[in-house]
Amino acid sequence: MQIHVSGGLAPLGTQVRAYAEYRIFSRLAPLARRIGGVEVVLTGRTRNALATCAVSADLGPAGSVRARVRRPQPIEAIDGAALALADAIVRRLESRAEKGVRHGP
């Protein structure tokens, strides 16, 4: 599973990006065999806007899933997006299994 993190979080850039990679990986690790890649886009908190974490995962034949979470702090947005993405992936894979579609070894 490849994870690519991008976005504009200049003040905390390296630390927040590393946290995003870790958090997404740790949340998705049990599903890693079914995930081709994950894109994470972080938008930092400005004076009047919330921090945003938008994530998408490529599930190969099962398609792709996305989640987007806004919170007051970047770490909170990352945590919420990791959880939402994992839930979306499980739902997608379960719905395909219910329809009798195999999703690999």
**Per-domain residue ranges for the chain?**
2-98
Return the exposure string of 33-70: e unless at least 16 CB atoms fall within 10 Å of the residue's CB, then b.
ebbeebbbbbbbbeeeebbbbbbbbbbeebebbebbbb
Rounded to an integer, the average pLDDT of 97-101 is 64
Give the global pTM.
0.84
Confidence of residue 80 (pLDDT cuts 50, 70, 90): very high
Residue 57 has pLDDT above 90, yes or no: yes
* Mean of all residue pLDDT scores within the chain: 87
Q: What is the pLDDT of residue 94?
A: 87
Q: What is the pLDDT of residue 17?
A: 87
Q: What are phi and psi of 73, to 5 degrees?
A: -125, 145
* Domain 2-98 in this protein, CATH class: alpha beta
